[in-house]
Structure 1
Amino acid sequence: MKTNIGLTKQSTEAVAEQLAKLLADETVLYIKTRNAHWNVTGDNFHANHIFFEEQYKQLDELIDSVAERLRKIGHFAPATMKIYLELTHLTEYSERTNDGLGFMKDLLKDHESIIDFLRGNVTPFAEKYKDYGSSDFITSLIETHEEMAWMIRSYFRN
């Protein structure tokens, strides 16, 4: 059945295109955080192992919410690694050490990249496409990523 939520087809297609990129970014970040959880080494292994687990669990919820937002506006969510790697703004892998801080530097950069991407879409979603629901939705994701980034940043001394 056709989605009739007061948005034009062109608007939902444009918003869905950006949400698909976001879904790819969230999924790649999730996998990278899982990698950190599985492969972290060093003196603070146990604390880092638990920290990364908390982070990937949050990301798992975000992934589901982005996919559901796509469905709410009448589009299907991409769901293959091939498509995610084509859509993502993130790099799948970067050179780093396997200690906690090595992983954290990489993950922090990704959270900040997602925050920047989200900020760039808040106004267009609302003003250009009149999709205030998606605009509000991604605003809440900014807050979540800001908190996750803050938690990571707090591991570093100024």
Structure 2
Amino acid sequence: MDNVLQVKPKAEAVNTGVEGKKAVAKAVNQVAADVYKLAIKTQFYHWNVEGPLFRPLHLLTEEQYGIMFETADEIAERVRALGELAPMNLKQLNAFSQIEELDTKPTAEEMIADLVKDHEAIAARIQDVIELAGEHNDHATDDLLGGVAGQHEKMAWMLRSHLAK
């Protein structure tokens, strides 16, 4: 009983018919990191947005980061189901993610445009991962990520609607 807290997470062999699990898990980890990092970025913008559209943008970003935090958890759990480890620290998260941070204090319009760009980038990356999953007979990842891509496309559209002139 003394060793119950001494167990370290490790990759494990999983035999479910998915081929190339390491390659698929790495790609899925990239998506998990992107979604999680964008959730954090969205929350930062939520905290700091100002202007005449404060309330609708504040509420929209809150809704979106809530969805993304839940989604990132599901994606990371898919990595674990494949027998691999999900990111375990911010350094790993940043290494996997393509989401960039702005170095300035953005306006509400710049925040929205930045989030749209990131949602579209994630949706595009997911299409590549879905293709990879299909090549490796990984239908569960395909199913999961198809819905996630749709979420990001919808979030981008909702944000883009605020930029319409």
User: What TM-score results when the alignment is normalised by the length of structure 1?
Assistant: 0.90
Q: 1:37 is matched with which residue?
A: 46
Query: Partners of 2:134 and 2:139 in 1: how far apart?
Result: 5
Cα shift readout 1:33-83 (whole Å, capped 9, x = no counterpart): 011111111122122111110111011111111111111111121131111
Aligned residues with identical type, % of pairs: 33
**Structure 1 residue ranges, 4+ long, deviating more than 4 angstroms after superposition:** none
Q: Which is helix-richer, 1 or 2?
A: 1
Deviation at 1:119, TM superposition (A): 1.0
Q: 1:6 is matched with which residue?
A: 17
Q: Is the 8 A contact 2:28 2:129 kept in 1?
A: no
Q: 2:60 is matched with which residue?
A: 51
Q: 1:145 is matched with which residue?
A: 152
> In the alignment, does 2:118 pair up with 1:110?
yes
> In the alignment, does 2:78 pair up with 1:69?
yes
Q: Is the 8 A contact 1:96 1:102 kept in 2?
A: no
- Structure 1: where are the runs of 5+ without partners? none
Structure of higher CA gyration radius: 2
- Structure 2: where are the runs of 5+ without partners? 1-11
Deviation at 1:2, TM superposition (A): 3.5
Map 1:59-98 onto structure 2 (within 5 A): 59-95=68-104, 97-98=106-107
Query: Partners of 1:31 and 1:98 in 2: how far apart?
Result: 18
